[in-house]
Copies of this chain bind each other. A is one copy, B any other.
């Protein structure tokens, strides 16, 4: 069983190409169950999220009132990303999390960029609207309690197809400087854009090796005092496995074996992003999105094979001389 990974990648590409199917209306549960089995991204139109019609800034600010929400702050727009530290080493850096009112957050998103401004991104993604506790009947507090009545707790055709409720429902608000670095999740992901547009760059699980996952030391953007600038503080003894390719769009960063799919999801559109697919996400200014994460099917072979394609057990350190790549932007 000594196939070069290039062969799996090329066979997958030869069979599937880089086409993304577009559905003009949501699938039935049965149609979606078939799509999950195929495990290819699909752009879906006509998913009815009433929210889309009335979620302007004034409404959101008024609804949320004085409630404080957790916003990711970074100097570069890259939360949860590999970034070069002052010591020249590469770190996987988590954002600083700052509490602020929705009105203030939305105002910050409207300020024109300057080179020294910090980037704010609402991306708490821990089931920030609903977590699985909501479906288990246990208390499920949320900073977005006031918006919950606007947000569907689940996507009926997806819940029915998978035979389960979502594990997490998240609200995302960001601008063109906020970027989610490329990674994959063990979730079936339903991602709906409410306002603005999101740009996804996707790689199938067979091409994950092109991203050179490495072990990076962990750090966190931190403010030493409330008014201080952000500093990257390493976390002792914590390390994280993450892709070494920071921007898959930079020429030369991906080998020719990689065949990225690019898709822009506009307001009113929904992306089905299958479990195990690698995704890099950016967006236009003031893009608002919702996503529903459903646990992937763990029975059978899918989980075993996704791990195999990631190359479990053979991950080198990210700062060794042969494998590191310096941040290039």
Contacts and interface: CB of A to CB of B under 8 A. Distances in A.
Number of contact residues on A: which range applies? 35 or more
A37 B162 CA distance: 10
24 contacts: A1-B3, A1-B4, A1-B8, A2-B2, A3-B308, A8-B305, A11-B304, A12-B304, A15-B303, A15-B304, A16-B299, A30-B33, A30-B161, A33-B33, A33-B161, A34-B161, A34-B297, A36-B37, A37-B300, A37-B302, A38-B299, A38-B300, A204-B301, A206-B304
A121 to B, nearest CB: 32
Interface in A271-322: 297-305, 307-309, 311-314
A217 interface: no
B161 A1 contact: no
B300 A39 contact: yes
Nearest to A300: B38
Interface in A8-49: 8, 11-12, 15-16, 29-30, 33-34, 36-40
Contacts of A311: 1
A301 B2 contact: no
A327 interface: no
A204 to B, nearest CB: 7
A184 to B, nearest CB: 14
A196 interface: no
A163 interface: yes
Contacts of A8: 1, 304-305, 308
A311 B34 CA distance: 27
A20 to B, nearest CB: 13
Contacts of A29: 30
Interface string A197-226: 000000011100100000000000000000
A118 interface: no
A40 B298 CA distance: 12
A121 B64 CA distance: 74
B12 A301 contact: yes
A301 B207 CA distance: 12
A30 B300 CA distance: 17
Given A30-B30, A34-B163, A5 B12 contact: no
A8 B163 CA distance: 27
A140 interface: no
A145 interface: no
A11 B209 CA distance: 20
Contacts of A325: none
Interface in A151-170: 160-163
Contacts of A11: 304, 307
A273 B189 CA distance: 29
A38 B305 CA distance: 13
